[in-house]
Structures are given as structure tokens and as C-alpha cells.
Amino acid sequence: MGRNYEEILEQWRILTKEKQVDIVVLDMPLLDTRRGKDLVGTFLSDIVLQVLSFVAENERTNIRQRQAEGIAAAKARGVRFGRPSAPLPENFDSVYKKWKAGKITGLAAAKECGMPMASFRYRADIYEKSGHG
């Protein structure tokens, strides 16, 4: 019904109060708004929903925390995330030098290397920072 405590309660309120919808959770008999339309039945459904919503949000927070810890531990071990970079074309060095000397435009250099302009600029920046430029 939602991703956090307030969102779940708000959706429940809209459905049961404003739209007058009955909700039946098949594996949770206490969350059945068809029976117990009296004050006690409504109270019980609302309390059970609040407890379950709290538990759900709490678990989601814990999952996020464990995920962040796992990613940090993997990065500390040197695990790299994302797609591996494609190797530079064989002519990259010579094209890069022509482009750096102003003999060709960036667009022409990218075309010569067979890559998009943004990729050429990005890889040229890394290439330069690694001491090749």
C-alpha cells in the first residue's frame, strides 16, 4: 500500500473512510474491514495496520542500512561496480594528440575513434589525468 508508515496509513484512510472500500487481507484475519464495522472492529483493524506499517518501514530502513554497509565493505575490498570500460581504440593516442594540438575538432576526433563526442571527451579527460596528455 505504500513505502512508509504515513503513506500506508493515509492510503488505508482514503480507501476505508473516503471511498468506503472494504479491505480483506487473506493471510491476516484481523485486517478484514468487512466484519467488525463497530468501533471495536475498526479500532482493531487500525491498530493492526499501524503495527504492521511500523514493522514494514522499520524493516525497509534496516534493509537500506545493511545494503549501504555491504556496498561500503565491497568497495573497501576493491570491488568495482558498474559496467567495465571498453578498451580505448588503437588510434586513440594519435587522435588525442592531434585534437590536443588543435589540428582537429573534438567531433572529428570522436568520429575518428568511432565513439560519441561525450565519450571521447570523458575518456580524453581520464587519459590526460593519468599522465598521457
Taking the C-alpha atoms of residue 47 and residue 112, their distance in angstroms, rounded to an integer, is 67
Instruction: Go through the chain and tell me how many residues it has.
Output: 133
Mean pLDDT of the chain: 87
Do 127 and 88 contact (CB within 8 A), yes or no?
Answer: yes
C-alpha grid cell for residue 115?
565513439
Please tell me the predicted confidence (pLDDT) of residue 107. 95
Q: What pTM did the predictor assign? A: 0.49
Please tell me the predicted confidence (pLDDT) of residue 112. 95
Residue 133, pLDDT > 70, answer: no
User: Concatenated DSSP letters for 23-81?
Assistant: -B-TT-TTSBTTS--SHHHHHHHHHHHHHHHHHHHHHHHHHHHHHHHHHHHHHHTT---
12-71 pLDDT tens trace: 888 888 888 888 878 877 777 777 677 776 777 788 888 888 888 899 999 999 999 999
Please tell me the predicted confidence (pLDDT) of residue 77. 96
* C-alpha dist (Å) from residue 3 to 8, 17, 57, 59, 108: 7, 20, 7, 11, 49
C-alpha grid cell for residue 71?
556496498
Residue 88, pLDDT > 90, answer: yes
Adjacent-strand bridge partners of 24: 32
Using the structure block, give the residue that is written with the C-alpha cell 500506508: 8
Residue 110, pLDDT > 90, answer: yes
Band (pLDDT 50/70/90 cuts) for residue 95 is very high
